[in-house]
Chain A
Amino acid sequence: MKAASCAVWLLLSACVRTVPLPDRALVQRATTDDGWELELVRYDAQGPVTGRPVLLCHGISANARNMDLDEGHSLARWLSAHGRQAWTLSLRGTGSSSRVDVRLGRGPISFDDYWRHDLPAAIRHVLAQSGAPQLDYIGHSMGGMVLYAYLSQGGQGVAAAATLGSPTRLDWGTVLDRVLAQAAPPLLPKSGALPSAFGSAVAAPFQGGVADDFFERLFYRRESTRVASWQRLMAYGTADTSGPVARHFLQLASSGRFLSADGRLDLRADMGRATTPLLVVAGAFDRIALTPAVKDGFRAWAGPKAWALISKANGAQAEYGHMDLVIGEHAAEDVWTPVLDFLRAHSTALTHP
């Protein structure tokens, strides 16, 4: 029975082709100060270097492929084509980075691990490899929250940053809030991970079969993202979800606060000490990181900042949901271009090759 299930899964998964990384993408490993290995993928600048290297970080239940889904949907390759050395990061427990392994003393994974250990290790690695004194950073969803936490606690090495759909307050009285608060806790492992990668891969071939289904309502809009792109993201852009991280997010949703996983740090309050230039980007129809949730982080930020609401009313070619910001058909023009413009506006003289 188990073998048959595996066979069916393999058959279905094969329906959605995994697009390999391009030959020029160099997979590297960085080791954190607590002994985890992280996957980093380097995309060298095409043509003259125009600015600092850029580190890209994905959100929860995701991996580095969110930033390089395929040739036509790749923030990493787009930055590289615009003269930036781009790096994608898979946080611990995702991509080919280390997994929880109790025998090796690894795990469980908390939100604090991401900003206390993973981000510093990734930044050190990129700076060492590139020779740049500082880098720029783009985080999607939780990838932006990780940056907020890191910089709010005095993290170094980031010259300018952009967050895409990154909330700092999660209590908005939606039906989803109430459903998750009641139904999710018993389902979440206390130390392990939810098998969301497996579930997504199995569900991938069926995506788009029914218009306006739950996934579409929650994650993307067909006017922005092709079903084929969404299927690919489901097939190889997802990762297992750490139970403690998911529990932490539920606590944030019930408390209305942005706290560290150990509850000791009020990260939102500490964002009031940050000085790094920041562009905060929100999709007007993001049903996960609602615009007020994203704006909350913008308001909390003390450093130089700008707000970009991606919407037709602001001239975008389509309305944007949560994942459209990174895999949308028009994301390069509507989202990534203003991000790069912001990073350029906060650039200093180039000091690396």
Chain B
Amino acid sequence: MLGAVIAGLLLAGPTVSHRELVVSDGARLVVTKVRPRSAVGTVVLFADVGFGRTLLRPLALALAERGRTVYAVDVRGQGSASSRGGLVEAATVDVPAVLRLAVSESGRPVDVVVHGWLGTLVLARLAGPDAPAVRRVVAANTPVLTELPNRATERFLRDQGRFTALLSSPDGAEVFSQLFAPEVRGGARVRAALGWAARDLGPQRSAELLAWMRAGDFPLGTSTVGAALKGFDRPTLQLLALGDGFAPPELASPLREVSSAPVVVRTFTRLFAAEDYGHASLLASPTAAKDVFPVIAAFLEAP
């Protein structure tokens, strides 16, 4: 009996709970909290626009297994969250609300993992004078140099960021591959799974993102993203995926010129990794668990 109890305790995995978070303008976010048996810190995961908690589930579980309490979030426009508002509201209302929640519940500064263009907005938010209490940052394919990456991205956004359209035809699947998961191991099955973790951007978010890429900057409250990023000062691990067509590494790499804190860069290519990771596959491909997650965990575990 005692043996069974001990075995049960030893084998018990992390506890997963889901809840809604209604923010100041009434938008409804969804927060998944993964709690390990014994937590050594807290990390909040923000996936890129169009993606959400579902994409980051493998990373959340991997970090929880390493003793982190993990919050994975659908901000507005992602997953099961409200659609109302756009990128500005996601950055200025949702991100601070989620971070306040995580800091409040953990009682100390948290770490964050950010991804893609939404990740850029989070970095800008962290650079402000009233920035949330964040200790370390992992920035995965997070652009700081803003321009249109390629023609396929432009067409995708002009078509209102419809992942569903991409996944409904062979030509669309090819575009999805080019932008989000170029050489994923497991082929079409894994790629489709990544695609179904996404949600159409819709007209407002697509237009905002396209305008941001074309203009090179984006208004954010009384400032702009570009201006805010100049104050970024958190120790950061920057992950670059060579095969990212949506937020390419050449747009993300200048972070270490912008940041006043150390930025450690890790680039993943097929030379020694399982894949030339892409935008979605970097954090969600089955092989990322071996190539990428340990790098993230090791960085977050540093004192």
Contact = CB atoms under 8 A, between A and B. Distances in A.
Interface of A: 171-176, 217-218, 282, 284-285, 287, 290-292, 294-296, 299, 309, 311-315, 319
Given A175-B272, A285-B276, A295 B152 contact: no
Given A292-B250, A292-B253, A313-B245, A217 B271 contact: yes
Contacts of B267: 172-174, 290, 292
Interface in B226-272: 240, 242-243, 245, 248-250, 252-254, 264-272
Contacts of B99: none
A295 B253 contact: yes
Given A292-B249, A313-B150, 10 more contacts: A173-B267, A176-B269, A217-B271, A282-B250, A284-B245, A287-B276, A295-B253, A309-B149, A309-B250, A314-B152
Contacts of B178: 311-313
B243 A174 contact: no
Which of A218, A296, A314 lies at the interface centre, i.e. has the most chain B CB atoms within 10 A of its CB? A314
Nearest to A175: B272
Given A295-B250, A295-B253, A311-B245, A287 B269 contact: yes
Contacts of B252: 292
A290 B249 contact: yes
A313 B270 CA distance: 19
Contacts of B182: 319
Interface in B186-224: none
A176 B271 contact: yes
A176 B179 contact: no
A176 B272 contact: yes
B245 A174 contact: no
Interface in B142-179: 145, 149-153, 174-175, 178-179
B35 to A, nearest CB: 32
A175 B150 contact: no
Nearest to B264: A173
B150 A174 contact: no
A292 B249 CA distance: 6
Nearest to B175: A313
A313 B271 contact: no
A285 B145 CA distance: 20
A291 B249 contact: yes
Contact of A291 (B174, B179, B248, B266): B248
A218 B273 CA distance: 12
B250 A172 contact: no
Interface residues of B, number: 32
B271 A175 contact: yes
18 contacts: A173-B240, A173-B264, A175-B271, A175-B272, A287-B270, A291-B250, A292-B249, A292-B252, A295-B250, A299-B145, A299-B254, A309-B150, A312-B152, A312-B178, A313-B149, A313-B151, A313-B179, A314-B151
Nearest to A169: B253
Nearest to B254: A299
B278 to A, nearest CB: 11
A220 to B, nearest CB: 12
Nearest to B155: A313
Contact of A285 (B179, B240, B242, B253): B242
Contacts of B250: 282, 291-292, 294-295, 309
Nearest to B291: A175
A311 B249 CA distance: 14
Contacts of A173: 240, 264-267
Shortest beta-carbon contacts, A-B, top 9: A292-B253, A295-B250, A175-B272, A313-B152, A313-B150, A173-B265, A172-B267, A291-B250, A173-B266
A312 B178 CA distance: 7
B173 to A, nearest CB: 13
Contacts of A294: 250
Nearest to B178: A313
Contacts of B266: 173-174
A176 B272 CA distance: 8
Interface centre among B149, B267, B273, B276, by most A CB within 10 Å? B267
Contacts of A176: 269, 271-272
B228 to A, nearest CB: 20
Nearest to A177: B267
Nearest to B151: A314
A319 B242 CA distance: 12
A213 to B, nearest CB: 11
A292 B268 CA distance: 12
B265 A171 contact: yes
Q: In this complex, which of B250, B270, B273 has the most chain A Cβ atoms within 10 angstroms of its Cβ?
A: B250
B253 A296 contact: yes
B242 A290 contact: yes
A175 B269 CA distance: 9
Contacts of A282: 250
B85 to A, nearest CB: 29
A315 B265 contact: no
Contacts of A291: 242, 248-250
B243 A172 contact: no
A314 B249 contact: no
Nearest to B147: A307
A292 B142 CA distance: 13
Contacts of A312: 152, 174, 178
Interface in B56-113: none
Contacts of A313: 149-153, 175, 178-179, 245
Nearest to B273: A175
Nearest to A312: B178
Contacts of B269: 174, 176, 287, 290
A120 to B, nearest CB: 31
Contacts of B271: 174-176, 217-218, 287
Nearest to A174: B267
Contacts of B152: 312-314
